[in-house]
Structure 1
């Protein structure tokens, strides 16, 4: 470990090891100075390079919450990086320039975020919250700029459910573990799926956290259809009643899986995954259980946490690890390098694993052990991508 310092007035980073030369960030020589620093950090040093310097990209609209210390996940990653001898600078993509960036570092001695100017980071981590921001020309120019410099950057974008399904179903090992899915163009697509499966989930193609999801179930004689949304149950006499919905937003329709239950309630696995030395490894498995008769296991919608130990014996973990690995490889081929993702995975009553959804930007896990192990794996990945050897 060595110490690097920052002068707020001059907006400069420097070191105080006389006679040494260091590189900090992307090809940036670090100056020597004996002046008094505004603050300093302990960092790793390997072959004259210090850091790594990690750029965590967030939405401009998230900055006020960050400064009020309400971005719990970002602060966890930042402080974990500092403990490991790295530095994170948190910034909107609009603050990335040709030779430098402007953002915020967390100074633990002050207990606050401090604005800094810094060299281009060794690696960028995308935590932008909005799909619309990722589709802007400015964001796409930043991706091209980082690509041209060969600065690692992940994950590049949110997934849409349909594009993800199209990508994964090309893989022979994954195909049997995907619920049958169609992109909804009109009500005939839903009618077709209902005739085959009897019950289906309809989900916004760009939705998250179970928002906008509903379930349709045909009556035994197909004379009417039960419509179920969170806190809503009603009977439809015709699917045509849903036509205005599909003209305003893109949806997918997905086969309902006859799910395994624990004490009468169905449950899903929430699996956190990270890339590590050429492979994808599981960093933690949580379990979310749906309340009685509810559609979704999301905690925000009433789902409950269940210890994985309660259902572990029902899961073929070797198969689960293999499926996760195949998902990571297929997604990286299609979407660009995937450094981390989470997976919502169900178990049917006959023991078959089904991959319901994969998420490019995992939500914070409620289980502290998964949270902290995930942060450790993420930091190891930053080191790997920045060319720092694991100690």
Structure 2
């Protein structure tokens, strides 16, 4: 897709000049986000990749500043932008850190808009002006954060920080209203539930081979059956994240062991004579309807510590899945998971597989699995999805297993110095997919709305 330089011209009125290469066919209106206006549209051979718009038209459309943009056409309207809204919560009164600790992530995301083309901004529930059909959005520019009142966006990328916030009635109502009354597509609109994802993937023949045996809700009888078959199992919150609230149960030499993280954040290992004792001491007060029971996998190890892999996939400007990052996560000492907050460390695939042939083979297998699972999930899910973070393990027989799929993947792997370049790639691809969705909604909306 071509990217054009948008210039806002102070002299003249009610006119837009487009390069003669733009395939005009009688358009009389120009649109930005949800707002359109009639104006004189002139094709100029003097322009190359530039669009010039008079100041009065820019003000009617609420275009905040000159930028690099895309141009989409339908029967009577030229659409410029697109206008990409990133919906979140947790705003502060600070002009330097308006979204608190996450301001740096959003700044990095928005700063890539010039590479991709379009206007990207962050907003929350209290920034929507329903009566005017506008939003007060936070833009990140050369001079820092700026607020501008703009029209409703072409597309919305959901970056609400946690499930609790996302499930609040207010946020659900806002999402439904913008989707159903304003026909604004959302992507990654929900956090994933582990049990729901397992059930969906179980229905897809290409995904089934990657799934550990899983049941819900966990019962002591089911746990014993799993232990008899697999010797180790995991009990996980279906809506958990960051490895919190996970219990590893091991049956060995007529005893039962449980590895978990206590309320003080310390990794614990306790021994029990029976499963009933373990269950009564550690799990009896849990609402098991909110948990899943999963087969334990004997993972490959590095220096005696278990390893799994985080693979990010993103859709690109053509709506095609790409692998955007792969990292190895090595469990901390005594940890039930490989998560960084549990003492885990991040390594590159090259560091885990120093032999070139093995490295290439494992990378290709991990990429193939992640892309297969991305396509399978997309087919099964009733929503648009532009990025996924997979946690995939390799067992000691070199079989691959899916442990988790995340619709709002964390960014901790990108702290590794050799993975920083992929941090930018994932954010660029998220914006590229937003541009793709915007174009689809303008030029072929029936494909998205069916």
* One of 240, 243, 250 as aligned partner of 2:290: 250
Paired residue for 2:71? 46
Corresponding position: 1:72 with 2:118? no
Q: Provide Cα deviations, 1:326-349, integer angstroms capped at 9, x if missing partner.
A: 322333332411111100111111
CA contact (8 A) 1:328 1:338 kept: no
TM-score of the aligned structures, taking structure 2 as reference length? 0.75
C-alpha deviation, 1:359, in angstroms: 0.4
Where does structure 2 lack aligned partners over 5 or more consecutive residues?
Answer: 17-28, 39-52, 73-77, 262-266, 443-450
Paired residue for 1:323? 369
Paired residue for 2:88? 58
CA contact (8 A) 2:7 2:67 kept: yes
> SS of 1:373's equivalent?
helix
CA contact (8 A) 1:125 1:154 kept: yes
* One of 319, 339, 342 as aligned partner of 1:298: 339
Paired residue for 1:128? 160
Rounded Cα–Cα distance in structure 1 between residues aligned with 2:125 and 2:425: 27
Q: Provide Cα deviations, 1:262-283, integer angstroms capped at 9, x if missing partner.
A: 2332211111111233432211
C-alpha deviation, 1:248, in angstroms: 7.2
Residue-pair matches, total: 377
C-alpha deviation, 1:198, in angstroms: 1.1
Corresponding position: 1:103 with 2:155? no
Higher mean displacement: 90-99 or 273-282: 90-99
Rounded Cα–Cα distance in structure 2 between residues aligned with 1:331 and 1:17: 51
Point out the structure with max Rg over C-alpha: 2
> SS of 1:358's equivalent?
strand
Rounded Cα–Cα distance in structure 2 between residues aligned with 1:328 and 1:190: 30
> SS of 2:381's equivalent?
helix
Higher mean displacement: 67-76 or 291-300: 67-76
CA contact (8 A) 1:28 1:119 kept: no
C-alpha deviation, 1:234, in angstroms: 1.2
Rounded Cα–Cα distance in structure 2 between residues aligned with 1:219 and 1:228: 13
* One of 380, 383, 388 as aligned partner of 1:336: 383
User: Once superposed, what is the RMSD of the aligned Cα atoms?
Assistant: 3.0
Paired residue for 1:215? 248
Paired residue for 2:21? none
Paired residue for 2:328? 287
CA contact (8 A) 2:33 2:152 kept: yes
Corresponding position: 1:381 with 2:422? no
TM-score of the aligned structures, taking structure 1 as reference length? 0.86
> SS of 1:163's equivalent?
helix
Rounded Cα–Cα distance in structure 1 between residues aligned with 2:110 and 2:12: 25
* One of 308, 316, 332 as aligned partner of 2:349: 308
> SS of 1:245's equivalent?
coil
CA contact (8 A) 1:59 1:130 kept: no
Paired residue for 1:2? 5
* One of 171, 175, 179 as aligned partner of 2:208: 175
Corresponding position: 1:235 with 2:265? no
> SS of 1:246's equivalent?
coil
C-alpha deviation, 1:200, in angstroms: 1.0
